[in-house]
């Protein structure tokens, strides 16, 4: 009677011969990219804090206590009751900072999703179909590039009124141009490749070619643009809120916190430096994450 060979002793040998699977290679590149890990970790921490804001925040961000106004942070001689001090209305600064993360991440994500959907559809259509479609999309891109984003956003928000919904809608409808430009150029590069020609030769439908052959090979460029525009939207929201035309009080917003603290900047600089530093860290982390995802998902690194 012969015994079947043990699969446990063969698997390591086969693994050495065949090599790591694509999934294993992707995980190795993902966890081996220092910038990606740092950026993703910071964004993940801020996202968890934002989602758990009612649990994490030590105080009600809207509660006012005029007797406790302008208390300094604990590292400047303040008390542990208000770790990052209080603002001019006695509201806990740490709590408003935590709830402000919700506003920034929500605006950045939704605005990038809206603009990404519009710009990607336009760019892929222009790059794949060409001709009149390309001419129309190129004309629309030129029209959009001729309009200054900040000035148009200020005008629209001033007319419609500042609110969270208006800011998200305005930024989502204004930031699609970079998506369209990058997706058009990326589609032009891959539409003549052999795998696209082969799919066309076997009679694959246009939606299937776009979704199965085009999009997977331009996904890394899309990821980079999404992260850039997400960071761009967060900065624009902070700019609008700083100018008084973005998120309105008493809603916590990092740009609004900077605006409220600018009058006391010479005497209490921490009122501006704390939300400004957190905003800088978030934008830097998003850009690091996007740059790392581009490196990990680049087609030349898949083999």
Q: Which long-range contacts (CB under 8 A, 24 or more apart) does 80-88 make?
A: 83/58, 84/270, 84/274, 85/270, 87/257, 87/260, 87/261, 87/271, 88/260, 88/261, 88/264
Q: Which helix (H) or strand (E) holds 232?
A: helix 215-242
Across the range 229-233, mean pLDDT stands at 91
Secondary structure class of 265 (helix, strand, coil): coil
Contacts of 173 (CB under 8 A, 6+ apart): 114, 115, 118
User: What's the pLDDT band for 7 if we cut at 50, 70, 90?
Assistant: very low
Neighbours of 92 (CB within 10 A): 25
**Crossing angle between the packed helical segments 164-174 and 93-129, to the nearest 10 degrees:** 30
Measure CA 278 to chain center.
15
Measure CA 86 to chain center.
29
Is 50 exceeded by the pLDDT of residue 9?
no
User: What's the pLDDT band for 203 if we cut at 50, 70, 90?
Assistant: confident
Task: Return the pLDDT at 185.
Answer: 92
Q: Within 13 Å of residue 158, how many CA atoms lie on the same side as its CB?
A: 7
The more confident residue out of 15 and 33 is: 33
Is 80 exceeded by the pLDDT of residue 110?
yes
The more confident residue out of 219 and 115 is: 115
C-alpha to C-alpha distance for 218 and 184, rounded to whole angstroms: 10
Task: Return the pLDDT at 300.
Answer: 57
What the block records as the tokens of 52 is 């758990």
Contacts of 223 (CB under 8 A, 6+ apart): 290, 293, 294, 297
The more confident residue out of 254 and 29 is: 254
Is 50 exceeded by the pLDDT of residue 276?
yes
Across the range 165-180, mean pLDDT stands at 91
User: What's the pLDDT band for 8 if we cut at 50, 70, 90?
Assistant: very low
User: What's the pLDDT band for 97 if we cut at 50, 70, 90?
Assistant: very high
**Domain 53-288 fold:** MetI-like fold (1.10.3720)
Buried b (16+ CB within 10 A) or exposed e, 236-258: bbbbbbbbebbbbeebbbbbbbb
Neighbours of 94 (CB within 10 A): 20
Across the range 20-46, mean pLDDT stands at 81
Is 70 exceeded by the pLDDT of residue 286?
yes
Beta bridge partners of 86: 92
CB 179 within 8 A of CB 115: yes
Task: Return the pLDDT at 261.
Answer: 87
Is 70 exceeded by the pLDDT of residue 146?
yes
Task: Return the pLDDT at 96.
Answer: 93
């Amino acid at each position: 009677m012969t015994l079947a060979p043990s699969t446990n002793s063969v698997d390591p040998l086969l693994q050495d011969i065949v090599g790591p699977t694509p999934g294993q290679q992707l995980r190795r590149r993902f966890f081996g990219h220092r910038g990606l890990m740092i950026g993703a970790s910071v964004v993940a921490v801020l996202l968890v804090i934002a989602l758990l804001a009612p649990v994490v925040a030590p105080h009600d961000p809207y509660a006012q206590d005029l007797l406790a106004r302008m208390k300094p942070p604990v590292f400047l001689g303040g008390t542990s009751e208000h770790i990052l001090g209080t603002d001019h209305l006695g509201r806990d600064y740490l709590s408003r900072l935590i709830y402000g993360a919700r506003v920034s991440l929500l605006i950045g994500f939704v605005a990038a999703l809206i603009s990404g959907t519009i710009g990607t559809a336009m760019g892929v259509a222009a790059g794949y179909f060409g001709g009149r479609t390309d001419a129309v999309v190129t004309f629309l891109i030129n029209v959009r590039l001729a309009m200054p984003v900040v000035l148009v956003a200020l005008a629209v928000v001033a007319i419609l009124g500042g609110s969270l919904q208006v800011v998200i809608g305005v930024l989502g409808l204004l930031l699609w141009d970079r998506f369209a430009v990058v997706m058009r150029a990326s589609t032009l590069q891959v539409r003549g490749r052999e795998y696209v020609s082969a799919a066309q030769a076997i009679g694959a439908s246009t939606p299937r070619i776009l979704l199965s052959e085009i999009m997977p090979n331009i996904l890394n460029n899309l990821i980079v643009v999404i992260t850039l525009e997400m960071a761009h939207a967060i900065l624009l929201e902070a700019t609008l809120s700083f100018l008084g035309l973005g998120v309105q009080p008493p809603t916590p917003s990092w740009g609004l916190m900077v605006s409220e603290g600018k009058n006391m900047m010479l005497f209490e600089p921490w009122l501006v430096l704390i939300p400004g530093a957190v905003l800088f860290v978030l934008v830097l982390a998003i850009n690091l994450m996007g740059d790392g995802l581009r490196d990990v998902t680049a087609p030349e690194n898949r083999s």
